[in-house]
């Protein structure tokens, strides 16, 4: 015979069932917050880069952009895997990217590349980079790429990564007792070029079509790349970043010369037009 009255035992059973029903909701909230945590970490490292650039610690400032890029790559992937994508998450991610891949690398280039020596011109070039990064992110949010498997324009994380990799490469050479003097004019030209490449229509490979789970060749290439990076990270990352930045214009010119343009993705059909064709 039960130790508790029938009514009391039934109420306890109901409470247990209610707790079990609420458990998936609590877990869902925790999973929903996980991508936002990575986005917040992305924003933090962008802010970290700005502070360290103003302090003159360019090594840590450059590392901040690297970690921001890692967090930026994880937040979207985690959101897709957990099926917790949301409009507010997309907007939050874009705002964080403007700080981490627009403002932070511009300030790093301004102080680390000594663009203040150009006074107003250096200030204008750094701001040009920020404006181009913001325009690049805005276009990415509202306008799909015209080419399958390609970004239209240099992605802002890649441009910021190039600024970071260049700074790390220069610091590495100086640590190796190699006296390197980078002219401020070259820094200004590089920063302006990265900004203009972001807002250009030049297609860049996105590598999203690579399936590491089923492609043996892709796995081998990935292992080789990681092995090269481990040897001398500051040199390898700079070379890989430079090759990627140059790959877009080089392939674009080659396709123009060889008359072999990329196939464009057909534009999406407006809802009104689809209704007219079916009626």
Mean pLDDT of the chain, nearest integer: 82
Q: What is the pLDDT of residue 99?
A: 96
Residue 153 C-alpha from the chain's centroid: 13
Q: What is the pLDDT of residue 1?
A: 46
Q: What value does the mean pLDDT take over residues 44-60? A: 96
| Structural domain range at position 180 | 13-264
Helix (H) or strand (E) holding 207: none
List all residues 6 or more positions away from 109 whose beta carbon is below 8 Å from its beta carbon.
Answer: 115, 126, 129, 163, 187, 191
**Domain containing 20 — which CATH number?**
1.20.120
Q: Characterise 8 by phi-psi region: left (phi > 0), alpha (psi -120 to 50), beta (else).
A: alpha
DSSP string, 83-145: T---HHHHHHHHHHHHIIIIIHHHHHHHHHTTGGGGTHHHHHHHHHHHHHHHHHHHHHHHS--
List all residues 6 or more positions away from 172 whose beta carbon is below 8 Å from its beta carbon.
Answer: 232, 234, 235
DSSP state of 264: B
Residue 208 C-alpha from the chain's centroid: 13
Look at residue 172 and tell me if it is in a domain. Answer: yes
Q: What value does the mean pLDDT take over residues 30-40? A: 78
Q: What is the pLDDT of residue 268?
A: 59
Report yes or no: 136 and 199 within 8 Å, Cβ to Cβ: yes
Tens digit of each residue's pLDDT (9 = 90 or more) over 54-110: 999 999 999 999 999 999 988 877 777 767 677 788 888 999 999 999 999 999 999
Look at residue 205 and tell me if it is in a domain. Answer: yes
How many structural domains comprise the chain? 1
Apex CA 190: angle with CA 188 and CA 196, to 5°?
100
Nearest to residue 139, comparing CAs of 152, 157, 126, 158? 152
Look at residue 273 and tell me if it is in a domain. Answer: no
Q: How many residues in total does the chain contain?
A: 279
Most confident option among 1-5, 112-116, 140-144, 264-268: 112-116
Look at residue 270 and tell me if it is in a domain. Answer: no
Look at residue 42 and tell me if it is in a domain. Answer: yes
Helix (H) or strand (E) holding 152: strand 150-152
Helix (H) or strand (E) holding 203: strand 203-205
Higher pLDDT, 263 or 175: 175
Nearest to residue 102, comparing CAs of 30, 167, 183, 163? 163
SS3 151: strand
Alpha-carbon distances, residue 213 vs 2, 210, 216 (angstroms): 55, 9, 8
Look at residue 1 and tell me if it is in a domain. Answer: no
Q: Rounded distance, CA 215 to CA 109, Å?
A: 38
Nearest to residue 127, comparing CAs of 143, 106, 154? 106
Q: Rounded distance, CA 66 to CA 54, Å?
A: 18
Q: What is the pLDDT of residue 4?
A: 45
Look at residue 2 and tell me if it is in a domain. Answer: no
Look at residue 187 and tell me if it is in a domain. Answer: yes
Report yes or no: 171 and 217 within 8 Å, Cβ to Cβ: no
Tens digit of each residue's pLDDT (9 = 90 or more) over 131-148: 999 999 999 888 877 877
Phi, psi of 147 (to 5 degrees): -125, 135
């Amino acid at each position: 015979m039960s130790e508790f009255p029938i009514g009391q035992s039934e109420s306890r059973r109901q409470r247990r069932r209610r707790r079990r029903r609420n458990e998936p909701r609590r877990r869902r909230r925790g999973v929903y917050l996980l991508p936002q945590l990575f986005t917040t970490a992305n924003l933090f490292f962008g802010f970290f880069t700005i502070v360290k650039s103003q302090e003159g610690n360019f090594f840590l400032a450059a590392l901040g952009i690297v970690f921001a890029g890692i967090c930026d790559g994880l937040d979207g992937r985690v959101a897709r895997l957990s099926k917790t994508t949301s409009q507010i998450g997309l907007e939050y991610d874009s705002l964080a990217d403007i700080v981490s891949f627009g403002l932070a690398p511009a300030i790093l280039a301004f102080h680390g590349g000594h663009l203040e020596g150009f006074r107003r011109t250096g200030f204008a070039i750094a701001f040009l980079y920020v404006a181009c990064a913001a325009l690049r992110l805005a276009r990415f949010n509202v306008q799909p790429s015209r080419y399958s498997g390609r970004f239209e324009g240099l992605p802002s994380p890649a441009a910021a990564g190039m600024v970071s990799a260049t700074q790390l490469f220069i610091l590495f050479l100086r640590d190796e007792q190699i006296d390197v003097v980078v002219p401020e004019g070259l820094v200004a030209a590089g920063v302006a070029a990265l900004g203009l490449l972001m807002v250009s229509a030049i297609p860049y490979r996105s590598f999203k079509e690579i399936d590491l789970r089923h492609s043996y060749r892709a796995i081998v290439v990935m292992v080789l790349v990681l092995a090269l990076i481990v040897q001398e990270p500051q040199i390898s990352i700079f070379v890989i970043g430079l090759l990627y930045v140059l790959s877009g214009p080089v392939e674009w010119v080659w396709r123009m010369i060889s008359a072999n343009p990329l196939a464009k993705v057909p534009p999406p059909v407006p809802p009104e037009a689809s209704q007219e064709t079916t009626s």
